[in-house]
């Protein structure tokens, strides 16, 4: 494996590492020589992933964790510290979704989205920052979304939770400045566009159609952004040209951008194949979806060809 002098020997906790760009980032960080502590609910998937990393010469430890459980997140932190002596970077890659018109989605699904996406992120941030203050430094990478700034129809609770992620990150940076620790403790937020990962398969879905979104990004650009943020975090970073364009557009023309985004989301819903309502994996993990890429773009091509 190649090594990165800025990452080799560093201990990095990655939440949401069983699939999607969490898994991709953990894999790449291990390839660059970091000690990776991978967390997600699916312990069997994590064990296989750790074995794969070890077979390739990397170092990783699996800690099955439901991030909505504060005690479980505390155990994740303590396990990382006991195994490697300290934590250098914490990647707060937490995010589930419930798709559909707000009133069509059961309230318990909305509550679960907020519990994981906001409370889970708060628990991780608290564990990380408490440790960073004790050891004198560290990097917290919070994974937000373009929805952090541009709310999207059919994703109300997800958009609300991701807006809260950005607000929390901004507040944490201000508090670190107040106590004179902003030079040694960094909090960065990355904000991707819609990305082709198993997130769409895992999401609860009440749209009546298979989930999809226009012009999905490849997960590799988010993986690269997470890895870069581990050593050079930016306080707020829209990831990729579409996310950056959306961010600029929203600052210049907020109403127009939000209405256009809603119309695009609505059109994409109708283009998907018919699908039954499902809670996905938001309440209980499912075996499907353990890869980085979700295969959504390929399905969309088949759907479009069949129209």
Catalytic residue numbers, as ranges: 145, 158, 162
Backbone angles phi, psi at 99, to 5 degrees: -100, 135
Tokens at residue 256, please?
């127009």
User: How buried is 116 (Cβ within 10 angstroms: 0-12 exposed, 13-18 middle, 19+ buried)?
Assistant: buried
Q: Are 94 and 15 in contact (CB under 8 A)?
A: yes
Name the CA radius of gyration of the chain, rounded. Answer: 19
CA distance 221 to 203: 21
Which residue from 22, 158, 40 is spatially nearest to 91, judged by alpha carbons?
22
Residue 141, classed as helix, strand or coil, is strand
Tokens at residue 120, please?
């889970």
Residues 6+ apart with CB under 8 A from 259: none
Residues 6+ apart with CB under 8 A from 155: 97, 98, 99, 147, 265
Q: Are 97 and 158 in contact (CB under 8 A)?
A: yes
Residue 278, classed as helix, strand or coil, is strand
């Amino acid at each position: 494996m190649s090594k990165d002098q800025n990452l080799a020997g560093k201990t990095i906790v990655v939440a949401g590492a069983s699939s999607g760009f969490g898994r991709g980032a953990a894999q790449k960080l291990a390839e660059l020589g970091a000690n990776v502590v991978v967390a997600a609910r699916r312990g069997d998937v994590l064990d296989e992933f750790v074995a794969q990393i070890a077979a390739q010469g990397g170092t990783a430890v699996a800690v099955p964790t439901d991030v909505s459980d504060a005690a479980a997140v505390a155990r994740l932190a303590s396990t990382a510290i006991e195994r490697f002596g300290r934590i250098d970077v914490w990647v707060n890659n937490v995010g589930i979704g419930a798709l559909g018109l707000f009133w069509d989605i059961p309230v318990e699904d909305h509550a679960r989205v907020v519990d994981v996406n906001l409370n889970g992120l708060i628990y991780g941030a608290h564990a990380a920052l408490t440790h960073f203050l004790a050891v004198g430094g560290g990097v917290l990478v919070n994974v937000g979304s373009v929805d952090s700034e541009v709310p999207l129809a059919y994703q109300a609770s997800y958009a609300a939770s991701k807006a809260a992620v950005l607000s929390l990150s901004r507040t944490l940076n201000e508090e670190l400045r107040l106590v004179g620790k902003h030079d040694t403790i960094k909090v960065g937020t990355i904000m991707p566009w819609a990305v082709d990962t198993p997130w769409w398969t895992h999401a609860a879905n009440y749209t009546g159609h298979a989930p999809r979104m226009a012009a999905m990004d490849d997960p590799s650009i988010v993986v690269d952004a997470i890895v870069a943020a581990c050593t050079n975090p930016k306080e707020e970073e829209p990831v990729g040209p579409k996310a950056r364009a959306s961010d600029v557009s929203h600052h210049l023309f907020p109403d127009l951008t939000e209405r256009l985004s809603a119309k695009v989301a609505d059109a994409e819903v109708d283009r998907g194949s018919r699908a039954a309502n499902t809670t996905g994996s938001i309440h209980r993990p499912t075996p499907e979806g353990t890869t980085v890429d979700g295969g959504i773009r390929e399905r969309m091509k088949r759907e479009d060809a069949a129209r």
